[in-house]
Amino acid sequence: MITQLVASGLALGSIYALLALSLVLIHKATDVVNFAQGEMAMFGTFICFALLTRAGLPLPAVLLLAAPLGVALGVVTERATMRPLQSAPPVNALIATIGLWMIFHHAAGWIWGYDPVRFPSLFSPEPVEIMGARIAQNSLGIIAVSLLVVVLLYLFFEFTRMGVAMRAASMNRRAAQLMGVDVTRTSLVAWGLASAIGVVSGLLIAPLTFLDFEMMFSVLLKAFAGAILGGFNSLPGAVIGCLVIGVLENLIAAYVSTAFKDTFAFGIIILVLMFRPQGLFTRRIAKKV
């Protein structure tokens, strides 16, 4: 029982982690918290669904298209809304992202309707036996996909010029510029990457919850809680924070009450901000980097 709860908690946490990675990516690169991240993920997932049902593309093709589609969504959004605010104070951009939240939210309802629809499952429903416990393939698949994203991100930041440039720009934008880093490009890349990762998280959660224009709200909330737990400035911290949230959420729902399933995320945000605003892991990770 507990093994299953932990496994499905880790799967949930992985989905939160993907969205949290998007949030932290953009925040590190541009100092902006993108409140529209969840809605952009939902919007991208709806586009995938439209490709699947209306355009009649096969599921594997849609899955392959998801990441490039997410990049396009992020790049267009950045160009249209963030670039004009480049020299304005970051709080203006932050308010613009709240506007984007509303726009994507209602645009999705207007285009695709307000009723939840069933999204095809990406993994076989047959559970597999691991260490005596029956674990849903869905959980394993979600964890595997998230792990792949994390590994790709790690390779990107560690080994590519753009990745290194983004790390430099996130630490000191002016110094990075004077070493040849074009910060308008790093901002664009951050939005593209974040949006692609967001769409992947949307595709992973849609089969679990139905595809719905409100489906990302609670995911965004948990992603925020996890990212704050990890210090909001550390990618590994955000992943660990979200895994903790996912597992806790499942355990609380099973052993305390399902009523606390969503509210406890708020509790964690408040507690962390009160007692450890730098996050639980920031210090250790900062030393390692």
Burial class, 280, CB count within 10 angstroms (exposed 0-12 / middle 13-18 / buried 19+)? middle
286 near another protein, judged by CB under 8 A: yes
- The answer to whether 15 and 219 have CB atoms below 8 angstroms apart is yes
Q: Which of residues 169-208 bind another protein (CB under 8 A)?
A: 171-172, 174-183
Give the number of residues in contact with another protein, rule: CB under 8 A.
25
Q: Which stretch binds another protein (CB under 8 A): 108-116, 151-159, 205-213, 264-272?
A: 151-159
Of residues 31 and 214, the one with the C-beta less far from another protein: 31
The least distance separating another protein from the CB of residue 259, rounded to whole angstroms, comes to 41
Please answer whether residues 75 and 191 qualify as being in contact, where contact means their C-beta atoms are separated by less than 8 angstroms. Answer: yes
**Residue 255 near another protein by CB under 8 A:** no
Stretch of 11-19, 105-113, 157-165, 250-258 lying at the interface with another protein (CB under 8 A): 157-165
Which of the stretches 16-24, 98-106, 120-128, 153-161 binds another protein when contact is defined by CB under 8 A?
A: 153-161
> Is 15 an interacting residue with respect to another protein (CB under 8 A)?
no
Nearer to another protein (CB atom), residue 128 or residue 175: 175
Among 165, 196, 203, 206, binds another protein (CB under 8 A): 165
Q: Can you tell me the distance from the alpha carbon of 281 to that of 30, in angstroms, rounded to the nearest whole number?
A: 22
For 173, residues 6+ apart whose C-beta sits below 8 A from its C-beta are 183
CB 262 within 8 A of CB 253: no
Kindly state whether residue 168 participates in binding another protein, applying the rule CB under 8 A: yes
Give the nearer residue to another protein in terms of CB position, either 51 or 190.
190
Q: Which among 261, 185, 168, 252 has a CA at the least distance from the CA of 222?
A: 261
Nearer Cβ to another protein (79/167): 167
CB nearer to another protein: give 54 or 287. Answer: 287
Taking the CB of residue 152, how many other CB atoms lie within 10 A of it? 13
Neighbours of 36 (CB within 10 A): 25
Does residue 167 bind another protein (CB under 8 A)? yes
Closest CA to 26 of 189, 161, 163, 147: 189
Among candidates 241, 282, 283, 233, which has minimal Cα distance to 265? 241
Q: Is 164 among the residues that bind another protein (CB under 8 A)?
A: yes
The Cα diameter of the chain in Å comes to 58
Distance CA 220, CA 107 (A): 18
Q: Which two structure tokens, joined as six digits, stand for 158?
A: 């560690």
Of the candidate spans 118-126, 163-171, 211-219, 244-252, the one that interacts with another protein by CB under 8 A turns out to be 163-171
Q: Is 54 in the site for another protein (CB under 8 A)?
A: no
Residue 162 binds to another protein (criterion: CB under 8 A): yes
Least distance (Å) between residue 167 CB and another protein? 7
Q: How far is the CB of 162 from another protein (least distance, A)?
A: 5
Does 160 interact with another protein (rule: CB under 8 A)? yes
Q: Which region, left, alpha or beta, applies to residue 212 given φ > 0 means left and ψ of -120 to 50 means alpha?
A: beta
Q: Which residues bind another protein (CB under 8 A)?
A: 155-156, 159-162, 164-165, 167-168, 171-172, 174-183, 286-287, 289
